[in-house]
Amino acid sequence: MRKITDNSEYPGYLLKCQEELLLDSGKIISDFQVAYQTYGKLNGNKDNAILICHALTGDQFPAEESPITKKKGWWDLMVGPNRPIDTNKYFVICSNVLGGCVGTTGPNDINPKTNKIYGPDFPTITIRDMVRVQKILIDELGISKLLSVIGGSMGAMQVLQWAATYPESLKSIISIAGSLKHSAQNIAFDEAGRQSIMLDPNWDNGRYPEKNKKPENGLSVARMIAHITYLSEKAFQNKFGRNLQEKKDLSFGFGIDFQVESYLRYQGKSFVDRFDANSYLYMTRAMDYFDVSSEIQNNKNKIIQNGIRFLVLSFTSDWLFPTKESKEIVSLLNSVGSNVSFAEVVSDRGHDSFLLDEPQFFKVCDGFLKGIK
């Protein structure tokens, strides 16, 4: 049984599913829920719906103030009235992913079989599992075909998984700063972040919620490591250089001397107030396991038959998901006969460019969406 209700904890809605979900790992999740938000109106033909897939630390609030941070939506520049994803025209859906910590079932929720918090007993998930749950939501909303599925970074992984697994359910995708699979370098960064969490004594083998603890130091360092990869060298240099933090001379100690140190510590500290450490472990593992290449090849006939249009975007200064990885997506899609467009956006702001004010990026996305019938 499935039921949509208002979300009592956050703005938006909950889809409560009293059923079993078989995961890629072979494990089963029972009685799960999906937290989501919508913007705009679904038209009579139900053919103006766009699904937005969020990145690793995102949530279901791309276009409104976050109830947790009280800051603008993470894609406020992209989604809204008269924005590239125009909520005057499109019905926009965004859900918190499976394994998340903003309303959708994850490791910090209650296991219905034990009536205790899942913690480390939460089953390992994949990007495909996340997309399975999104498909359940879209079906429940009565939408047979999405106008587009759009996402950046981990969101781009979900987008490609949608095209590979449910090609009959969408007209187009926009893959932004993504890849067909995680590189060895990215797996290495994720592992360093996970180890920083798991080596924090307060992690307590993932049982910290039961004891009202938080591995704050470990999660903070994990965020600092990741955040370094989101910016380019030039962005760091332009923003901070070697400027000192509210002092004229070096301290000759291990406190904060440089502005960039203060910035990273702030990023780490603010992150632990809004994100769950176990969710971070599970979601980064899902990214590491992602490899959609063979699935796209195996389903190429359905992809072609359904006439899916692809837009693949990269940024010149993104070294986390560099342009060469977007070109690998394009090459594979071309090899299976897909309708694919590609654009490399000039930006010196690194991987996070897709979240920032980049007019060329907005223009390309806007033009592509206007061409989808």
Q: Which of 317, 351, 352, 353 is catalytic?
A: 351
Q: If you average pLDDT over every residue of the chain, what do you get?
A: 97
351: annotated active-site residue: yes
Where do the domains of the chain lie, and which CATH numbers do they carry? 2-183+291-370 (3.40.50.1820), 186-284 (1.10.1740.110)
What's the pLDDT score for residue 227?
A: 97
Q: Which of 153, 172, 232, 314 is catalytic?
A: 153
pLDDT digit string, tens, across residues 22-53:
999 999 999 999 999 999 999 999 999 999 99
Q: Which of 109, 318, 326, 352 is catalytic?
A: 318
What's the pLDDT score for residue 74?
A: 98
Three-class DSSP labels, the chain:
CEEEEECCCCCCEEEEEEEEEECCCCCEEEEEEEEEEEECCCCCCCCCEEEEECCCCCCCCCCCCCCCCCCCCCCCCCEECCCCEECCCCEEEEECCCCCCCCCCCCCCEECCCCEECHHHCCCCCHHHHHHHHHHHHHHCCCCCECEEEEECHHHHHHHHHHHHCHHHECEEEEECCCCECCHHHHHHHHHHHHHHHCCHHHHHHCHHHHCCCCHHHHHHHHHHHHHHHCCHHHHHHHCCCCECCCCCCCCCCCCCEHHHHHHHHHHHHHHCCCCHHHHHHHHHHHHHCECHHHHHHCHHHHHHCCCEEEEEEECCCCCCCHHHHHHHHHHHHHCCCEEEEEEECCCCCHHHHHCCCHHHHHHHHHHHHCCC
What's the pLDDT score for residue 191?
A: 98
What's the pLDDT score for residue 135?
A: 98
pLDDT digit string, tens, across residues 239-298:
999 999 988 899 999 999 999 999 999 999 999 999 999 999 999 999 999 999 999 999
Residue 304 has pLDDT above 90, yes or no: yes
pTM: 0.97
pLDDT bin (cut points 50, 70, 90) of residue 69 is confident
